[in-house]
Amino acid sequence: MAFQEFTSTAVQLFDKWMESSDPRTKGWLLMSNPIPQMLIIVFYIYFVISLGPKIMENRKPFDLKRVLIVYNIFVVSLSVYMCYEFLMAGWGTGYTFGCDLVDYSQSPKAMRMASVCWLYYFSKFIEMLDTVFFVLRKKPKQITFLHVFHHSIMPFTWWFGVRFSPGGLGTFHALLNCIVHVIMYTYYLLSALGPSFQRFLWWKKHLTSLQLIQFVLVTVHISQYFFMKDCPYPYPLFMYIIALYGIIFLLLFLNFWHHAYTKGKRLPKILQKTISPKNNNDIHHKKE
């Protein structure tokens, strides 16, 4: 009985909270309630952790070279388009990089920002294919906790962003992420083109540096909200979530950097040769 009462109260509170959501995005794809996206995310995790590896256990890896080329070209193009839309909808045409509030009107510019926010949210489901391709190509070492966590948490949190506050200072990290993805998926595209393009992949380490810079900028930008005397942002909870997001991913990527590059485990083959056994032993002794 107590559990039923708790559940009933939680549902009532959620319904009341939903009444204050942005009515403009209510009828958009996947926006009516969070259950459909949660089902997608749960199936994604189940496929990556259990179902996919079982299906591929006694199969040869799929040759997805052409698929990966088309996919990466598409994601690069989509990211470029979203960068342009975020800039034209606010970040390049009026936002101050300070207390930028959400415009809930039906004006063309406000609707343009809401639309690109939804498109960014939907793109997170498209990017789940990254992991699906790893499974189908039998690349388990690529499927790290950081990778799966990132692809799972982003659409989940952004559903609430699109439904309640599609715009304002809470979207700065989306613009940054789109810029990083233009560069990142260009790298993946060159990698998918084959060995003849490996000489162009020397900058993989710098790509991780760019991702670290991204999360530093996200954390610094959103942290200013907590020092503003008067910034009537309608949903302060999202500011805390974004700040926490920036810090968590900064720490996770720093950990990735340590294992991937300090230890040399994820450097391109052309650079791994520059790490001599002597250097590896020195690193090992320092760790001890």
Residue 190 in tokens:
């060159």
Judged on CB neighbours under 10 Å (0-12, 13-18, 19+), 23 is exposed
Q: Which helix (H) or strand (E) element contains residue 46?
A: helix 35-46
CB within 8 A of 216, min separation 6: which ones? 246, 250
Tokens 């690529």, residue? 142
150 classed as catalytic: yes
CA distance 208 to 206: 5
Residue 136 main-chain phi, psi, to 5 deg: -65, -25
CA gap 35, 41 in Å, rounded: 10
Q: Which of 147, 150, 206, 284 is catalytic?
A: 150
58, 103, 222, 257 from 228: Cα distances, Å: 58, 19, 11, 33
Q: Which residues are catalytic?
A: 150
